[in-house]
Structures are given as C-alpha cells and as structure tokens.
Chains A and B, each alone.
Chain A
Amino acid sequence: MRWVVGAALAVLLALPAVLSSYAMTIFILIFFYAFLGQAWNSVGGYAGQLSVGHAAFVGVGGYTAAMLSIEGGLTPWVGMFVGAVLAALLGAIIGYLGFRFGLRGFYFVLLTVAFAEICRIAVSNIDALGGPLGLYITFTGDPRQFQFSDGRVYYYVALALMLVATATAWAIERRRFGMYLAAIREDEAAAEALGVDAFKYKMLAMIVSSFLTGLAGTFYAFYLFSLQPNTLFGIPLSVEIAIRPIVGGAGTLLGPIVGSFILTPLAELSRLYLGQGGLHGAHLIAYGVLLIGVVLFLPEGAYPRLRRALQRSRGAPFSGDERSHAAPVSGHPRSEPGDERSHAAPVSGHPQSEPGDERSHAAPVSGHPQSEPADERSHAAPVSGHPQSEPASRPPLQQTLLVARGLSRRFGGLQAVAGLDLTVQHGEMLGLIGPNGAGKTTVFNLLSGFLTPDAGDVSFRDRSIVGLPPHAICRLGLARTFQIVRPFPRMTVLENVRVGALARHPQAVAARARARDVVERVGLGARERVTAGALTLAERKRLELARALATEPSLLLLDEVMAGLNPTEIETIIQLIRGIHESGVSILLIEHNMRAVMALSHRIVVLSFGEKIAEGAPADIANHPKVVEAYLGDEYVRAAPA
C-alpha cells in the first residue's frame, strides 16, 4: 500500500510537466472536490451525520476572504483562515443545535439545508456583499493575492490542500477520535454506554469539517474570481460536495479521493461535450444514476470494493475476507426470544440444586483480588470492615458501592418503577429478578443514565450520579450491557472491544492490547477479526460482555446475558461471569434463568410492577410466597400451600 501511495504521489507531482492546460484544469477540480469531500467525510462519513448544507461553509469562507481582500486589502493567505474560523463557528452552531436537540437522519439533513438556504437568501439580500450578483475579483496575478498567472501553481496548491485534508483524516482515523466517531455512527447509545461522549465528538467532527470546508471557499473564490450566492451557497453545490465521498466510500480514508477521480472528470467531460450540444444537466443525470446505483449495488462505496479486489489479486492473506464472507451462522435466532423463555423458567422451590460452594469461593471478599490491571480506582476504595445490616446477607461485605433511594419513573400512565431502594455492596453479586414488565430494564436505564428518574437518588461510590450522561457514568466505573445486544455490526470484534478499552486507555496501542486481553478472556480470540454482524447470538452476548468489561468497571450491570442461549452456552457464560466477579468486579444481574441466578447471586431483589416485593438470600427468595404469587398468581399459592 505504501508503495502504491508513494508512486501515485510521484506521478501527481510530475504530471503538470506533461498536461495540457485543459487537463490541468480537470486535475485541479479533482483535487479541489477531493479536498471538499475529505472535509465533508469527517462529519458525513466517519460520524455518519448526513449534511446537505456544506455549501454554507464554502460560502462563508469564500465571501470572508474575498471581502477582507477587496475591502480591507488583507491577503487571502491570512483571510482564508479567518474565513475558515467563521465557517467553523457556523458549523459549531449548526452542530450544537442538531446534536443537542437530537436531530437525526432526515431531520438533521433538513437542518443543514435550512441553514445553507438562510445564508443564501441573506447574502443575496445584502448589498454590501454584492447582492444576488455577488462579488467579482479583479485578476492581478499577484501570488500574495492568491492569484497565479501560471496554472501549475493552482495545481500544486489544490494538491497540497487535498493532501492536508487526507492527512487530517488519516490522523483522525488512527486515533481514539476516529474510533469513537465510527462507534457513534454504528450505534450512538451503545457508544455512550462505553464511555463515549457522543455530543462532544460529533461537535469536534463538525468543527473540523466546517473549518476545512471554509478553507476551500477561499480557493474557490480566488480560482474562479467570482462568487455568486446561488452557486456558492446553493443546494446543488452541497450535493456535489457530498456525492463524491459517498460514491467513493463514506467514512473511508481514500473514498473521497476515489470518488472525485470518478465523478469530476465525468462531470467536466459531459459538461464539455454534452453541454455544448444543448444538453445541460446531462452530467447531473449521470450523477443521479450513479447515486442510485451506488445505493442499490455498492452501498459501502467504490473504494472498499477496490481495495478488496486489489488485495485479492495479489493473493495476500486477507483477514478481511473472512469478515465479508462469514455467513451468519444459522441455528440461532437472530432476535431475542427472551419473552417466551422467561415463562418457561420454573420458580418452583428447588433451585437449590446448585451447591452453594461456588458461592463460598467468592465469599471472602475482604481482600479483593485486584488482578484487574491499571485499576487506580480500586485503591480509592478503603476496605472497611463493617458488617452491613443487610438482612441475611451471605458474605460479610464491607462497603456500599451503589445506593438507590426512592427511585421512581413513570411512562405516561404506567408507573414503571415506584420508590425502589436498592443497594449493591462492594464485591457483591446481586440478582434482580421479576416477571416480564416488572421494570428491571428500566431500573438499569435509570442507574446507567439512559433515563432520568422522576424522583429518588442514585449514588455510586458516594457520589450522586443522577442527571449524569451515560458516558460519564461509565467513566466513573459503572458499565452496563444491553438486553437486546447492540454490537457495532460493521466493526470487527476487536474494534468493538477497543471502543470500550479506550475509555481507560486513550492511547490507541494500549487500548488495542487491553482489548485483545479482554477478547481472549471471553473466548472470542479466534473470532477477533470477524465483523460483529456475523457473530452468532451466543458470541454477540459474550461480545456485549467483553465491551463492557473493557471499560474496566467496578460495577457491571448485566441485562439478561443468558437469554436465548442453550444450556452449554449458558454454562460457559456462568463461568465467565464468575471469573469476572472473582477479579474484583461487583455485579448486578438481571436474569430470567433461575438456576443461573440462584447459583450466582449472593442476594436477590425481586421486582413486581415496579416495586420491590422481596429481598434476601436465594434460598429464602425461592420460597417467598409473594414471589411465587408474582410469578404464578395467587391461585397457585392457595392451591399449593407450602
């Protein structure tokens, strides 16, 4: 790859020597649009926030530099940065409104369109900016005025811009920033749960993107010498900007360049040959057809396909191959069958078949095995020796990790959680059970910051976490999994886990090493290069666990990690959970599999219709009349008296 890039670069550097001036113009436009596409890509591709309003940034950048040059005599070499800063400011405003107010998909597209149109109409109506006719720049050929009599200079400037934007994208892609953007694009809520501040990173992406696009405005102005509001701020330019990276491969490093090399010559040549024959718009028909074709047949774009084809032809051992061909192993339901299963779970009085001895291994929690590396947090926890006043709590646990008091949440007419008190001790494994619809997952959402309670308080390690966003709670050491697994489907297993690991290890290399450890630990080592979308359900459940674990939590909330698994798989995951617990992580477990929950938990809390109806040791819970009633109805209780 390095060779190819080096050779391509050498060719591009040498090319002006042999190009005709028309061919040179086409290359300048290729570089220019590749630059714009690269700029768009950081927010539209990597972060997955589709913008059809990027022309606004070109316009703001171009008009600023032109006005500063015409009215203030400031050289565009400085003015371009002033313009870019103003464009970034506009980008920050649009991003803030869009991301803070949670506009996605079509709504975000409309927001960007509306801002660009407002800019266009405003500029058309400001006489000082030339009104609808725009601005014209007199050609002086003075390099200090960003004007060159020799077309080759424009060529090299455009090439340099493209390379700068590509280097920026490369730097983003390799860093935590790029990884986080990809995670946000795949599944924002899951990313938040892994400690990713989605708002912050989307804002950063928007600012980088609008800044670079603003730079392009100056080049546009001083290459074409005229600025008209309808072309510079118009929707058609926004489409031109977005279409190249999409055709080339949105969210890939070379996608915008490949897209520009395909589309720009196509546009220019058809403009030249068809436009002269009176067929204006023919190149736009071609765009439309290409766009439709890409969406239907090549949704990831041309570049990823090209790369695979190249690698295959060289016969290189290509790990990516197994990703794309790995057929989803059948035999497992793709979706969560959770509900049916839970009915089958017997709550009869004999869940005690599991001998209690595993539990007693976990019991001496006094000196937690702090095998968890890089765990600064654990030192912070002074291990005191007070026996808690918890009723019949099994092991003598010393310190409270999480306390929820009076936790309540209502959805319309449904009181999902009502005045719940919940305590998790340091080193404890607490089970949370209850019939379907009892409010268990709502409790998890309240604890992990995905929902805010209507009333009540949650404190984690002696600090209130109510109102904190999920990513902040994750960084405090409280991680969760989702009942319906939410892997980042187009990222590999290892990449999925790396997103979690980056919460504690900002350096990419350290995060990768850490992620690899965790992947090995959950037994997915052989599958680390497979994309998550191709995993079986059992593997996805383990991946879900691995990602949460990689954030190095002190408390792990597990939401039905066994649902939908067969008995062998359940046994594996039980061992895994036990191992995690022994390494010093406290666990709060929602589970319908009674055998597992009884075997694993020190203590169990039973929820029904949002209220806690029982709490205690597994053996007591199993025979608790209220629990039996909640699961089987009071008739059962009367019919089968204990």
Chain B
Amino acid sequence: MDVTLVLQGLLSGLLFGGVYSLMAVGLTLIFGVMRVVNFAHGDMMVWGMYLAYLLATRAGIDPYLSFVVCAAALFALGLLVQRGLVDRIIDAPHEMQILLMLGVALVLENLALVAFGPEPTRVRTPLGAATLWIGPVFVDVARLVTFVVAVALTVALSLFLYRTDLGRTIRAAADNTYGALVIGTDVRRVYAAAFGVGAACVGAAGALVSPILPFQPSTGLSLSVTSFNIVIIGGMGSLLGAFIGGLLVSVAESLGAVFLKPSLKELVSFSLLILILLFRPAGLFAKRTS
C-alpha cells in the first residue's frame, strides 16, 4: 500500500470531516434539547445546497459568502418546523416523532425533486480548481476553505452555547427540561431556538459543501443516515462527540475508499454503527456513569 495514497486519503477525509462535524453538531443539538431525532436533517442540508446553487447561478454569489444567507433561511425553516409541527407532539411517544420527521423528510426531498429534477449538480467557485502541494500530498483549496469555515462555525456555535445567556439557557434545558421550567425558562422559545440553530448548521454546511460534493435530491437521505451514524458514534446529545465523530467518520469513509472499493466505503460506517449500537450505545466518548 502506497503511503502517499493513505496520507492523501487521511487528509482529504479530515478536511471533508469539517462539514460532517457541523452537520452532526446541528443534529445533536436538536436531539439534546428536545429528544427529537431530526429525520429531515439531510434533506434540510440539501435545501442549503440548492439555495447556494440558486444564489450562485442567479445572483453570482460565491457559496463561501452565501452560506450566511443559507444558514439564515434554514434557521427560519427549522423554526417553522418546530413551531408548526414538532411542538404539537413534543410529549408523544418517540415513534410518533420519528414518523412525523420522516414525513417532513419526504416532503422536503421530493419538493427538491420537483423543483430541481433528479440530475446531480454542483456549485462552481473560483477556488474549485486551485490546489496546494504539501510535500507529496496535495490539498484541494476548496476543501481547505470549507474545512476552515465549518470548524470556525462549530467553534462559534460552542461559544454561543457556553458564553451567552440564550446559549446557557439552551444547555440548561437540554440538561433538565423540568428544572429549566421550574426556574421560569420559556422552554418553547428555547426549543424553537435550538431547532432553528440546528437547522442553520446544516444550511451553512450544505452551502459550504456544495462546491466539493455533487448533489441531487436523494443525497439528503444518505446525509441523514450519515449524521445519525456520527451522533451515535459520538454519543447522542454530545457536542464534542459530534464534532470528533464527524472527523472520525469522514476519515474512516475516506480510508475505506482507499483500502476497499469506493462503493464499499459506506459498509465501513454502517458496520461501525451496528457495533456501537450494540456495545457502546452511549457513544465512544461517553463518560461511564453508573
């Protein structure tokens, strides 16, 4: 096995992982606060991609700028889904919540299909063609920028959660909803904020990944499944776990593509998922509390 090839796989996996991390952080935030699994997560992300696509093709805005707009739009969508739908069944059994979000996913995916058709697209950016060489391995500049921005956003999000009042309130409600209610938190507002922020994460992630990942409406499903994979590996509800898990899964898939056939790379993450589900259901990084 060529060492360069492995290093190359490691590096591009790591760089792509920034997006996975951002996506998973959004999912885990929503789950941590509301105990609701956003089955429409990947489909929301695809809408972020298509928004970036529209802004690039119609208004000529580079996705590395338009990700802010995409995040804002998805924030609004998240807010709407939470206020209009999720809020009504927040106390229902988990199965009902899963079905509801599955319904939202179906609607979002197929609206994209109706609007944009089934053919894969990608967003062009001037950075797309540029590469840097570090010794024997090359760095795709678009990937690098995507990685840097995604990580910066994740850091900004954790600063928001740890340093601002609303952020602290969100974490408090995630820790203990009942306790938060008792001390007078407007939990509905916290839920809406959390769902909005979680959706904004994939809005930004979608825009950022749109130059380096060809996408189509059905991409959403596999992105959802990948996000589930990551948050299970990192531990449901853990922000740090989601961040590290995102990098880990991306590197694992990338190396899987190097060592196995590219079409088998998902086999690696699904097998990993099953093992984690069975033996470490609280995630790889969960502290043992017993």
* B281 surroundings in chain A (CB, below 8 A): 101, 103, 107
Partner among A52, A101, A282, A291 whose Cβ is within 8 Å of the Cβ of B110: A282
Q: Give Cα distance in the complex from A107 to B264, angstroms.
A: 23
A97-B110 CB under 8 A given contacts A118-B267, A295-B89, A295-B96: no
Whether B258 is near chain A, meaning CB under 8 Å from some CB there, is no
Query: What residues of chain B lie closer than 8 Å to A125, measured between beta carbons?
Result: 261, 263-264
Chain A 108-141, CB-CB to B under 8 Å as 1, else 0, gives: 0111011101100110110000001000000000
B21 to chain A, nearest CB (A): 20
Smallest Cβ distance from B270 to chain A, in angstroms?
A: 5
Residues B278 and A110 in contact, CB atoms below 8 Å apart: no
Interface residues of A in 265-298 (CB under 8 A from B): 278-282, 284-285, 287-292, 294-296
B100 touches A235 (CB 8 A): no
A285 and B114 form a contact (CB under 8 A): yes
As a 0/1 sequence over residues 260 to 290 of chain B, the CB contacts with chain A under 8 angstroms (1 = contact) are 0101101100110110011001000000011
Q: Is B187 an interface residue (CB 8 A)?
A: no
Whether A382 is near chain B, meaning CB under 8 Å from some CB there, is no
Residues of B within 8 A of A104 (CB): 94
Closest A residue to B111 using CB positions: A285
List of A residues within 8 angstroms of B163 by Cβ: none
* The stretch of B2-10, B55-63, B101-109, B145-153 that contacts the partner chain: B101-109
| Contact assessment for A296 and B114 in the assembled complex, using a CB-CB cutoff below 8 Å | no
Residue of chain B at shortest CB distance from A295:
B100
- The residue that A106 contacts in the complex, of B37, B89, B118, with Cβ under 8 A, is B37
Shortest B117–chain A CB gap in Å is 8
Q: Which residues of B contact A625 (CB under 8 A)?
A: none
B101 → chain A closest CB, angstroms: 9
A95 interface hit (Cβ, 8 Å): no
- B127 at interface, CB cutoff 8 A: no
- Complex interface: chain A residues within 8 A of B264 (CB): 121, 125
A285 adjacent to B110 (CB under 8 Å): yes
A161 within 8 A of B: no
Contacts of A122 in B (CB 8 A): 267
Q: Which of A124, A284, A290, A296 contacts B85 (CB 8 A)?
A: A296
Inter-chain CA distance A292–B273, complex, in Å, is: 28
B277 lies within 8 A of A291 (CB): no
B20 within 8 A of A: no
Q: Is the CB of B277 within 8 A of A284?
A: no
The secondary structure that dominates the B interface is: helix
Interface assignment of B113: CB less than 8 Å from any CB of chain A: yes
Chain A contributes a number of interface residues (CB within 8 A of B) equal to: 46
In the assembled complex, A61 has its CB within 8 A of some CB on chain B: no
A537 to B110 Cα, complex, angstroms: 47
A282 to B114, CA, bound (A): 7
Contact of B107 among A132, A239, A285, A411 (CB under 8 A): A285
B277 x A50 contact (CB < 8 A): no
Contact assessment for A412 and B109 in the assembled complex, using a CB-CB cutoff below 8 Å? no
Tell yes or no: B257 within 8 A of A by CB.
Answer: no
Contacts known (A50-B98, A291-B106, A299-B96); A412 close to B289, Cβ less than 8 A: yes
Which B residues are in CB contact (< 8 Å) with A115? 274
B225 within 8 A of A: yes
Per the bound structure, the CA–CA distance linking A104 and B289 in Å amounts to: 20
In the complex, B232 has a CB within 8 A of chain A: yes
Docked pose: A246 CA to B273 CA in angstroms: 27
Task: Tell me which of A52, A103, A236, A288 contacts B103 (CB under 8 A).
Answer: A288
Determine the residue in chain A with the shortest Cβ distance to B113.
A281
Nearest B residue to A107, CB-CB: B277
Q: Is A48 an interface residue (CB 8 A)?
A: yes
Contacts A105-B98, A106-B37, A287-B106; A280 near B118 (Cβ below 8 A): yes
B229-242: contact bitstring with A at CB < 8 Å (1 yes, 0 no)? Answer: 00010000000000
Q: Are A412 and B290 in contact (CB under 8 A)?
A: yes
Known: A288-B104, A289-B103. A106 touches B94 (CB 8 A): yes
Determine how close the nearest CB of chain A comes to the CB of B43; give it in whole angstroms. 10
Cβ B89 vs Cβ A239 within 8 A: no
Q: Determine which of A117, A132, A296 lies in contact with B88 in the assembled complex, contact meaning CB atoms within 8 Å.
A: A296
Bound-state CA distance A117–B96 (Å) is 23
Contacts of B108 in A (CB 8 A): 288
A49 CA / B108 CA spacing, docked (Å) = 26
Smallest CB gap from B260: residue in A: A125
Interface string of A234-249 (1 = CB under 8 A from B): 0110010000001000
B99–A295 touching, CB < 8 Å: yes
Verify B270–A48 contact, CB threshold 8 A.
no
List chain B residues, Cβ under 8 A from A288.
Answer: 102-108, 110
Q: 25 pairs across A/B with beta carbons < 8 Å?
A: A107-B232, A113-B225, A114-B270, A115-B274, A121-B264, A121-B266, A124-B263, A132-B263, A235-B225, A246-B99, A278-B117, A280-B117, A280-B118, A281-B113, A284-B106, A284-B113, A285-B107, A288-B105, A288-B107, A288-B108, A290-B103, A291-B99, A292-B85, A292-B107, A411-B290
Going nearest first, the 4 A-B pairs with the smallest beta carbon separation are A288-B106, A291-B103, A281-B110, A288-B107
A positions within 8 Å CB-CB of B: 48, 50, 52, 97, 101, 103-107, 109-111, 113-115, 117-118, 121-122, 124-125, 132, 235-236, 239, 246, 278-282, 284-285, 287-292, 294-296, 299, 411-412
User: A285-B107, A288-B106, A291-B103 are known contacts; what are 10 more A-B pairs with Cβ within 8 Å?
Assistant: A105-B95, A106-B94, A107-B277, A114-B277, A121-B263, A122-B267, A279-B114, A281-B111, A285-B106, A287-B103
